A and B are shown apart, each in its own frame.
Chain A
């Protein structure tokens, strides 16, 4: 079995358009969550979001741009960053592939099309509506960009989509089925229709009375829900042997991947399912709980998740649960749905590189159910921070946990 390493990383997040800027913002406890402005937003009850500041014009020519939903723009932009960092990793394109997670993919284009049909009462849709909106567009565009003829895969398991995409890509490299994979996630879900649908489910955070940017409060007694964010994150994965042979810089090793489905309820998370996924990731990594130096939690800020997740960590980690720093960076970048796992994996890798655990913002009074060390008073230097666990738990029940370590 090959050991799988990360040799390139690309990020566009609500906190910045690369991993350094994103992590700097986390350390500074700067939140990208804000009240959304623009046409239609006055019809939202929950007006919060964490948008990305990204102008596609300099990056794509006009003809190409007409074919790219925002989700594909973000995917291509981050893939380019990752490939550049990895230093020309595609010696044999037939042995190279793409593995992307997305929850809603081209939701913006679908929303635009429905507006044209139903609100504007026009019968003329844009010629590329299907190509813009299709779920596999982000992965396909990346494959086309680099001419990669290996597997081109799209995973959609809601909030764990990109953790699954990274885990499954790592498996292919482990087994020698591919030499190199671009793996990650992309989401661009801040359109009116999607926001309204989430609002109807009553899982979105209520705006904080004094500070909109403080509205997402993972693990807090007064948490009221999640805030949707957009963005993308991509990793270049390859075998350790190959990376060393070509003299690539190794950023980290994907040490473990656990995948367990609840099969109990379409939305309600289960302690047993989450704990089983954590145990599976540890077993896959051949690591014990005390080897994990920081946990980047799923930590959505919903009533349902945070207590269950805390209980799951305690079930597996026992007394060690109280010693390991646990934080939810969603408190600042929001919930990127299908891209969340990939962004949080990139943050976890950067945490190892800097020896710093990023904090949980907006946690003043913890829920009594949530009694771990959530790093709520600011980013923390952690001695020997060489292994991080990142959890992604989804509507539908697909729980994916990744462990990344210093290589």
Chain B
């Protein structure tokens, strides 16, 4: 499974976001992911992928506009 596939599975399983609406270009905004939901997702991602996401929320939000961006960031951190 790719990072994006694992991520979409996680979002469906833990956050009830239907897989049909989850593609790489889907923006956080279009998925109704606000600042608090994003922090929950970051926490879940850290557990699932065993990575340490940036502590600075602004840095994450600056970098991650879409699901694809999030998958890319996870991939980079996992490779470290």
Contacts and interface: CB of A to CB of B under 8 A. Distances in A.
B57 A202 contact: yes
B55 A202 contact: yes
Contact of B58 (A201, A224, A268): A224
Interface string B41-61: 011000000000001111111
Contacts of A224: 55-56, 58-59
A223 B60 CA distance: 13
A252 B74 CA distance: 55
A203 B58 CA distance: 9
Contact of A266 (B36, B55, B58, B60): B36
B35 A304 contact: yes
A304 B34 CA distance: 12
B36 A267 contact: yes
Nearest to A221: B58
Contacts of B39: 200-202
B34 A268 contact: yes
Nearest to B39: A202
Given A200-B43, A303-B61, A46 B35 contact: no
A203 B57 contact: yes
B61 to A, nearest CB: 7
A24 B33 CA distance: 45
A340 B30 CA distance: 37
A366 interface: no
A237 interface: no
Q: How large is the interface on A (under 10, 10 to 19, 20 to 34, 35 or more residues)?
A: 10 to 19
A229 interface: no
B35 to A, nearest CB: 6
Contacts of B42: 202
A206 B58 CA distance: 11
Contacts of A268: 34-35
B53 to A, nearest CB: 9
B57 A225 contact: yes
Contacts of B61: 303
Contact of A46 (B34, B43, B55): B55
Contacts of B59: 224
Nearest to A46: B55
Most central of B36, B42, B57 by chain A CB within 10 Å: B57
A267 to B, nearest CB: 6
Contacts of A204: 55
A20 interface: no
A117 interface: no
Interface string A23-58: 000000000000000000000011000000000000
Interface in B8-50: 34-36, 39, 42-43
Contact of A45 (B36, B55, B57): B55
Question: For A199, A202, A225, A266, which residue has the most chain B Cβ atoms within 10 angstroms?
Answer: A202
A303 B58 CA distance: 6
A46 B34 CA distance: 23
A266 B34 CA distance: 11
A261 B79 CA distance: 45
Contacts of B35: 267-268, 304
A224 B60 CA distance: 11
Nearest to B53: A202
B56 to A, nearest CB: 4
A206 B36 contact: no
B56 A225 contact: yes
B67 to A, nearest CB: 19
Contacts of A225: 56-58
Interface in A257-274: 265-268
Contacts of B43: 200
Contacts of A303: 57-58, 61
B55 A206 contact: yes
A307 to B, nearest CB: 11
10 contacts: A200-B43, A201-B39, A202-B42, A206-B56, A224-B56, A224-B59, A225-B56, A267-B35, A268-B34, A268-B35
**5 tightest CB-CB pairs across the interface, nearest first?**
A303-B58, A202-B57, A224-B56, A206-B56, A202-B39
Interface of B: 34-36, 39, 42-43, 55-61
Given A45-B55, A224-B56, A303-B58, 5 more contacts: A202-B42, A204-B55, A206-B55, A224-B59, A268-B35
